[in-house]
Amino acid sequence: MITNFEESISDSAKGMKRSVIRELLKLTQREDIISFAGGLPAPDSFPIEELKEISCEVLDEDGKCALQYGATEGDHKLREILTERYVQQGLEITSDNLIILSSSQQGLDLTGKILLNRGDKFICGLPSYLGGLSAFSSYGGIPVGIEFDKYGMRSDLLEKSLIEMQNKQETAKFIYVIPDFQNPAGITMPEFRRLEIIEIAKKYNVLIVEDSPYRELRFEGEPQKMMYDLDTTGHVITLGTFSKIFVPGFRIGWLMAHQKVIDKFVKAKQSTDLCTASFTQKITAKYIEKGYFDKNLKLIIDMYRKKRDVMIQAFKDFMPDGVSWTHPEGGLFLFLSLPKDMDAEDLFKIAIEKKVAFVLGSVFHCDGSGKNTMRINFSFMDEKNNRIGVQRIAESIKLLLQNNVEV
């Protein structure tokens, strides 16, 4: 190993940190711990038998292509299928508006690569998905956090922030939002708020990055129109992924945008990984074509609805006064707020002793706020453990409230 390795690394790499969540995940992989920490889908939702069958079919019918490099834009069939699904929802797009990515995390990374120079500002929610913040920060992006109300990012504060930037001859490169079942807050933006944000983006000529991994996991309530759909001016870039509605192990996501934007993503992706794996794209396309995808999605939705309900009931049964939580209409997470003066980090230490884990809400706040909040995943554990885990967290909170533990 060279001795001056630290001096050799780039400014970008110096700013890179290990993801707090991925590090926590290692700790919580212990079998005896009930982990609400990761954003993992339930392994029982993975269609292993169907995938064995389809993998063989793809190899038999199209093996030489399936094992070859593919187009950077993605597998033609898969792009057509995704486009058609959006068109059926009323979107006016063609497959030229869509590129397949090696996961939506790659989309976030490429967004940073394409849009951010070092020191450029971007807008995000307080709270916001840590993986997005890390991707943008690694290109030198500076987050400007906007507080939430029960409808998601506050549009009045967003505009105030953009005016302040304008007064200083600054601007933000984009507004990062997760409108459906937000990670971590579990909030869904109603249409009026989406429209307000789009209007502001147009007024100040800022792009919107709509990150939407959970949209199809709706358990109740009316679907809200995608921001991509509500915008008529090409200001929105939308990211999707198969990770939570099919399998994360294939690492397949996509990005939908104006053709000019897609062209930039194609170029940026070429220097990143040339193309997404052909084999898994072809399997995915066939899986959808054979009708397995929609059938399995219904099962996943039912499974997660039950898991959420068990968890919320456990909160009602066990949590002491002063603790509140969101009621997500879908997705994978709910967000818990402890009494104002309580620090979730103190709670975490007790909770780990009691063999239950969650993620500190503060890691999702780019300004370090949210110390009394925590993100709880309800999709990964089974219903029984969801209840036991909540009971353990409630006991830990009560201990902390009694102030009789050293932390």
For residues 157 and 83, give the distance between their C-alpha atoms in angstroms, rounded to a whole number: 35
Helix (H, G, I), strand (E, B) or coil at 368: coil
Closest CB to ligand PMP among 240 and 392? Answer: 240
Of 86, 129, 250, 265, which lies in the binding site for ligand PMP, with binding defined by CB under 6 A?
A: 129
State the virtual CA torsion across 214, 372, 125, 184 in degrees, nearest 10.
-10
Closest CB to ligand PMP among 102 and 386? Answer: 102
Can you read off the two tokens belonging to residue 166? 């304008």
Of 28, 45, 72, 103, which lies in the binding site for ligand PMP, with binding defined by CB under 6 A?
A: 103
For residues 109 and 114, give the distance between their C-alpha atoms in angstroms, rounded to a whole number: 9
Q: Does 279 bind ligand PMP (CB under 6 A)?
A: no
Q: Does 73 bind ligand PMP (CB under 6 A)?
A: no
Count Cβ atoms below 10 Å from residue 48 Cβ, excluding itself. Answer: 10
Identity (one letter) of the amino acid at 355? K
Can you read off the two tokens belonging to residue 8? 């050799």
Number of residues that bind ligand PMP (CB under 6 A): 14
Closest CB to ligand PMP among 131 and 328? Answer: 131
Shortest Cβ 3–ligand PMP spacing (Å): 36
Of 47, 74, 127, 131, which lies in the binding site for ligand PMP, with binding defined by CB under 6 A?
A: 131
- Nearest CA-CA partner of 389 in 36, 46, 26, 84: 36
Q: Which stretch binds ligand PMP (CB under 6 A): 89-97, 102-110, 195-203, 229-237?
A: 102-110
Binding mask 208-247 for ligand PMP (x = CB under 6 A): ---x-x---------------------------x-x----
Shortest Cβ 242–ligand PMP spacing (Å): 7
Q: Does 152 bind ligand PMP (CB under 6 A)?
A: no
Helix (H, G, I), strand (E, B) or coil at 172: strand
For residues 238 and 255, give the distance between their C-alpha atoms in angstroms, rounded to a whole number: 6
Identity (one letter) of the amino acid at 140? G
The CA-based angle 188-192-197, given to 5 degrees, is 85
Subset of 173-202 contacting ligand PMP (CB under 6 A): 178, 183
* Residues that bind ligand PMP in the complex, under the rule CB under 6 A: 39, 103-105, 129, 131, 178, 183, 211, 213, 241, 243, 248, 253
